[in-house]
Amino acid sequence: ITTPDVKLNLGGEFIKESTATTFLRQRGYGWLLEVEDDDPEDNKPLLEELDIDLKDIYYKIRCVLMPMPSLGFNRQVVRDNPDFWGPLAVVLFFSMISLYGQFKVVSWIITIWIFGSLTIFLLARVLGGEVAYGQVLGVIGYSLLPLIVIAPVLLVVGSFEVVSTLIKLFGVFWAAYSAASLLVGEEFKTKKPLLIYPIFLLYIYFLSLYTGV
């Protein structure tokens, strides 16, 4: 017995079904032939899936490395629009140049970044600052960039103790000023030194992990 052809109406177009397809549908197994439509959200680029904006990270890096207000950068974007991957990349890069054959330094620097930022966050909240932990984490991480910049200079002038010390102090002040200018707002008023000082000490400790002091 010849099974008649069956035509399906899909969007105004008729599609001819084969005998096997018709048999499966008549037996209640038509669901085996269903094909799910592709979800356009599944075809997003990897960077978009991970919420990584390279242009935004590059802009924040310039804001940290050039903290002078006269340059015209909107530096508050580093604090007001925090991200995780940019600071993590900076901290990992700083960890890589601090290895000196000791891989455990990487995990230790990341730990100091996370818990050091937590300490600054708690202190800021106690002093009355309106800042989130993610904002502090991003600012502290990005502000390691000045220490990365002075690292190759220290390799060149390492034998000159006085010059090396001056460059280290310059790098720490640069990093601490960049972070403090973003985190220490007007809401602290006369309490600014109470937050600036631990930020300064935190970057001194970061530098000691690099130099081995």
pLDDT band at residue 1 using 50, 70 and 90 as cut-offs: very low
Rounded to whole angstroms, how far apart are CA atoms 99 and 111? Answer: 15
Q: Answer for the pair 82, 137: CB distance below 8 angstroms, yes or no.
A: yes
What is the average per-residue pLDDT within 194-198?
A: 86
What are 117-167's pLDDT values in tens digits? 999 999 888 887 788 888 899 999 988 999 888 888 888 876 788 888 898
The pLDDT of residue 90: 87
What are 81-129's pLDDT values in tens digits? 888 888 888 888 888 877 654 556 777 888 888 999 999 999 888 887 7
Read off the DSSP letter of residue 5: P
Backbone torsion region of residue 8, taken as left when φ is above 0, otherwise alpha when ψ lies between -120 and 50, otherwise beta: beta
Q: Which two tokens stand for residue 158?
A: 């390492």
Pick from 119, 113, 155: nearest CA to 138: 113
The pLDDT of residue 42: 56
DSSP strands (E only) in the chain: 7-10, 13-16
The pLDDT of residue 37: 54
What are 48-78's pLDDT values in tens digits? 666 777 888 888 888 888 887 777 777 788 8
What are 2-53's pLDDT values in tens digits? 445 444 444 444 445 566 667 666 666 555 555 555 555 556 666 666 677 7
The pLDDT of residue 10: 46
The pLDDT of residue 93: 85
Backbone φ and ψ for 9, nearest 5 degrees, come out as: -95, 105
Query: Mind giving me the DSSP string for 8-59?
Result: EEETTEEEEPPHHHHHHHHTT-GGGG--PPPPGGGG--HHHHTT--HHHHHH
Residue listed under structure tokens 């000196």: 100
Q: Which two tokens stand for residue 115?
A: 């818990």
pLDDT at 201 over 70: yes
For the chain, the domains span 51-211
The pLDDT of residue 82: 80
33-47 core/surface letters (b: 16 or more CB in 10 A; e: else): eeeeeeeeeeeeeee
Read off the DSSP letter of residue 62: H
